[in-house]
Structure 1
Amino acid sequence: MKSGVLLLAVLMLSVNLKAQTIDQGKTLLYYEKYKSAKAAFEKLVAANPNDVDAVYWLGQTMIMPDDKTAKDVADAKALYQKTLLANSNSPLLLAGIGHIELLEGKDQDARNHFETAISLSQSKSVPVLNAVGFANVNAKDGDAAYAIDKLKIATAVKKMNDPDVYVNLGDAYKKTGDGGQAQIAYEAALALNPKYARASYRIGKIYQTQGANQEEIYMKYYNEAIAKDPAYAPVYENLYNLYYTTDVPKSAQYLDKFLANTDDNPKNCYLRASILYAQALFADALKKADECIGSDPAPYPKLFGIKAYAYNKLKDSVNAKASFEKYFQAADTSIIGMGDYSTYASVLLKFPGNDSIAGKYVDKAVALDTLETNKVNYLKSMAASYEAQKKYKEAADWYSKVISVKRAPGKVDLYNAGFNYFRVASYDAAINVFNQYSQKYPDDAFGYYMAAKSKWGIDSTMAQALANADFEKTISVGMVDSVKYKPQVIGSYKYFVAYYANVKKDNAKAIEYCDKILSLDPADAEAASNKEALQKPARPAAPPKTPAKPAKPAKKN
């Protein structure tokens, strides 16, 4: 009897120790100390490879970081699949596999695994429902509405007391753009645990996304998060990034606090070099980056990127180009940003013959960026480069891309594309752009005028009268404000002077148009000269001249 009680006590202690260790690892994940959390779960898995809880969380340490690589995802997948061989009905591991599949873009496979996991746990397992919800929030292609549905079920489970569920629910609402419901969910997490800094931090993020005019509000919540838990590193990292371009000294202070409360890893060395770059200490940033690279057999890839940026600022294009190439070679594409591609493109343009390669990188930057202003700036840099080389057709193509990415392209955007097509006689393309101009700005004579000139370029003899209607429209619209549109109206009148004089042989009509020109500009010498010539009576045909006598043949020597 005593031995049985002793065995039961040992088993209970073992379970408690396991739970304590799992909780310790999850706490490290809460602080986003991925390296330490991974080490903690690796010990548990090494002790028991079939510990599905430890395996699930170990996989999460691989796929949670923002700078995770394709290899990290593949390693987590292999871990889950291996453990599932002996634990095929583990709901938590099936949820983990679904998470991996979302990251791989296999949405339907992921959904099937999520539904199986929920069914096996009879929709009553908070960890499983939370895992499904988190996966759909965390993965770019995850279904936020689906996450909301499953997380709400989790909150209704009897004795549910995990604030992480409510924070994930808030993140799901935030992903749908519903900041109000997101804040309610975060506040529910704080009701369960008033010291849960992650929830206060997330409320601050809602207001941060609304712009700098909300700084007083979001800083209130960030400071609350710090007060609740001064060791909560994510808030410091966020503030370091927030002030990186606007208040570098403040950014540096938050970076120091972040580094003091996070795992030591190669990325930290990059951050130290990065803040030197932000302080315009470009030579120091290069020195620090080289120190970091030299001290690590597998340096953080972005160190090569910071070197590239620093060399570029120091106007050393050769080393900037070389450093960017090392960066792109070493880094997983998931951590390469649009600014990296666009800056590399600007460096490439400094080397003749690299225009097309630079263009490919600009296209990558545009595809990644979500801000219209940034997309436009990337594209305009390419257009300006081609314009400077007098490659107007290529410039027009890039300006056309500006039109395609802007929700509301303006007159200058349309002009830049249309005029560059016009100047290289790509008349059909020019007409298309200037027709867009006129459709958007029907009271502006310029669009009709340039479409008319482009059609005149196609019908250079005026025999088909292709440009007539557009020149007439230019005049009717332009005469509403003949001062503003004087050049376009006069240009249209001059077309009709030539058309009636040369094609229709109607001098009287041509003279009418000369008079119209002179009424707007009495000093127009060309119109006055043309009118005088048109008023002269036609001369009778001259009699044929007597043919000259042929020259005598030259004498032979």
Structure 2
Amino acid sequence: MRKFIFVFMGMLAMMLVGQKGTAQTINEGLNYLDLDKFASAGNVFKTLVKNKPTGENNFYLGYYYIQVGELDSAKAQFEKGVAADPKNGLSYVGLGSLLLKQGKKAEAKAQFDQAKAITKSKNADVFYRIGEAYVSYEGNTDPVEAVTNAEQALKLNKNLADAYVVIGDAALQKLDGTTAANNYDKAIGLNPKLLKTHVRLGNLFVRSKNLNAAREKYNEAIAADANYAPAYRELADLYYLARQYDKALENMEKYISLADKSPANQFRYAGFLILVEKYQQSLDILATLKNQYSNSAVYNRLMGYASYETNQCPQGLEYLNKYFTLVKPEGILGSDYEYLGKLEICNGGDTTKALENIVKGAKIDTNRVAGLRDVAQKFFDGKAYVKSAEAIQQYIASPGKKVNANDYYLSGLANYYANDFVKADSAFSTMITLLEGPKQIIGYQWRAKTRAKEDADGTQGIAESDYQKFFELVDAEADKTKYKREVSNGYFYLAILNLKKYKDLAKAHEYANKMLALDPADKRAKNVLTFTQKDLDPKAAAPAKATTSKPQPKTK
């Protein structure tokens, strides 16, 4: 489930750059962005533009709008910046960044080139911001351009630590962890207070699955500033990966307490609560965000998931159906189809269609295969045995997971009750191989029952050895009474087998008496005895004599 949350929770690009003139005020706003205090940052930049609407100030207000996803407002602000100061290249960088975010790379480059031309390629901040843009927008990145521009920024200002961060980010996008780490270290060397660099180094260690080293880097940022919210956010993700959900939630709550109580942060929090299975709490927060996010695909996804997990199925199906009308095809996840199928079942819909959706989800994302196990169980509980057998077989056949004895047990039961005894036999056989010693008792019990069904007329004897093994395991049990019924069924099978296959009336008689010892009213046993006693001397009724000795000739 983690993937679907972090598809929309991607890292915000928040940068700190040394400025002159109004630098303190600009840096204050950028610091707020770096702390995920978006509302506070917005207030700073809006006040700055109100008091002095320069091209530079308009750029940073537009930059803020990009970070909070208000792209129309960002564009308007950049255009105001161009109008206010046509010779300030940053506003053109802003317009180019918007185009790049939209995937219009050629048009974006034209704006970037205009920014360089206006500033005669002598403004380090222009090159830095262009480089930053090229690593900021997922799906539209260009690491080569990012490095080229960041390196030019460093030629103009060798102390621009953020330019090294851009080079590190570009290297990370090319999966070059060593180069990324080296450049992040250079950034820290120039500016030890650049705490986002500690976080990036931590993220680098997460990628290499060195979670302890990652935790150390996040804690370094916290040690430098206990109020540095992004470090707690990343710690929350780290502890989630480590399956330490209490610590994950603790750190996310710390993050929320430090960051702005903005709708965006509350939305992030609601998504994380679903990850740690706090579904009702997530729903409560999402309910307060309906006005802002009701037409967001992700909002409807989260509402659908959390509603299912809290047994609010009609509501959940409504939200998830709306989600599918909003999401782009490439944005659909395996878990979306899985939950759609679950909600259709929960609402009493077409179970075949529901199963198809869950299977579709498992094909998109093999991590979603677990959903097939749940569906198979629900089909079984509803006595839809054929569908249960199909679902559990799909689950067992899917790669990338460890199937256990319980999975084969469900497969065996589903196929048994679906009257597919060959498949049931195979499932119970595999189940037996996965268990040891006394635990095999259920496997032998059910394989014996299955083979008895395959040998319905009692002439083949294919269940005989399984019943004998079953009896042996029952004898070793402290509580034999719970197997009384199945032991009796085994005796009956063996009685019929001895009558029909072996023609051993004495043995059949013996098994019938064993049945009566368990239940004196057992009609099946009485019927066997009625048949055997017609042709069997009562004195020979106990264990096997007559059938193994030849009749003696009569004396004259």
- The aligned counterpart of 2:487 is 489
- The aligned counterpart of 1:68 is none
Cα distance, 1:493–1:93 mapped onto 2, change above 3 Å: farther
Alignment of 1:431-450 (within 5 A): 431-442=425-436, 443=438, 444-450=440-446
Counterpart Cα distance in 2 of 1:13 and 1:217: 38
Q: Percent identity?
A: 19
Task: State the Cα distance separating 1:241 from its structure 2 match.
Answer: 4.5
Cα distance, 1:345–1:218 mapped onto 2, change above 3 Å: closer
Cα distance, 1:35–1:514 mapped onto 2, change above 3 Å: farther
Residue identity matched to 1:393: V
Residue identity matched to 2:389: A
Alignment of 1:69-218 (within 5 A): 72=102, 75=103, 77=105, 103=139, 130-131=165-166, 133-134=168-169, 143=175, 146-147=176-177, 149-156=179-186, 159-160=190-191, 162-189=194-221, 196-203=228-235, 205-207=237-239, 210-212=244-246
Task: State the Cα distance separating 1:498 from its structure 2 match.
Answer: 1.5
Alignment of 1:283-432 (within 5 A): 299-301=295-297, 325=321, 327-333=323-329, 341-342=337-338, 344-346=340-342, 348-349=344-345, 354-366=350-362, 376=370, 379-381=373-375, 384-385=378-379, 388=382, 391-401=384-394, 413-432=407-426
Cα distance, 1:345–1:496 mapped onto 2, change above 3 Å: same
Q: How many residues align?
A: 462
Please state whether the residue corresponding to 1:536 is helix, strand or coil: helix
Q: CA contact under 8 A between 1:421 and 1:429: conserved in structure 2?
A: yes
1:498 aligns with 2:496: yes
Counterpart Cα distance in 2 of 1:83 and 1:361: 45
Cα distance, 1:34–1:371 mapped onto 2, change above 3 Å: farther
Q: CA contact under 8 A between 1:474 and 1:488: conserved in structure 2?
A: no
1:473 aligns with 2:469: yes
RMSD, aligned CA: 5.6
Residue identity matched to 1:199: A
Q: CA contact under 8 A between 1:383 and 1:396: conserved in structure 2?
A: no
Please state whether the residue corresponding to 2:476 is helix, strand or coil: helix
Q: Which runs of 5+ in 1 are unaligned?
A: 1-11, 63-71, 256-270, 277-284, 294-298, 540-557
Please state whether the residue corresponding to 1:509 is helix, strand or coil: helix
> What is the CA deviation profile of residues 325-356 of structure 1, one whole-angstrom value per residue up to 9, with x for unaligned ones?
55423322466566754554356458998333
> What is the CA deviation profile of residues 73-108 of structure 1, one whole-angstrom value per residue up to 9, with x for unaligned ones?
xx2556567779999xx99978976887x849xxxx
Cα distance, 1:477–1:308 mapped onto 2, change above 3 Å: closer
> What is the CA deviation profile of residues 397-418 of structure 1, one whole-angstrom value per residue up to 9, with x for unaligned ones?
2244556689676776544332
- The aligned counterpart of 2:30 is none
Counterpart Cα distance in 2 of 1:119 and 1:459: 80
Counterpart Cα distance in 2 of 1:214 and 1:302: 22
Q: Which runs of 5+ in 2 are unaligned?
A: 1-19, 27-53, 117-126, 538-556
Counterpart Cα distance in 1 of 2:466 and 2:474: 12
Q: CA contact under 8 A between 2:506 and 2:536: conserved in structure 1?
A: no
Q: CA contact under 8 A between 1:493 and 1:513: conserved in structure 2?
A: yes
Task: State the Cα distance separating 1:502 from its structure 2 match.
Answer: 0.4
Say which is worse superposed, 390-399 or 206-215, in terms of deviation: 206-215
Task: State the Cα distance separating 1:324 from its structure 2 match.
Answer: 5.2
Task: State the Cα distance separating 1:421 from its structure 2 match.
Answer: 0.8
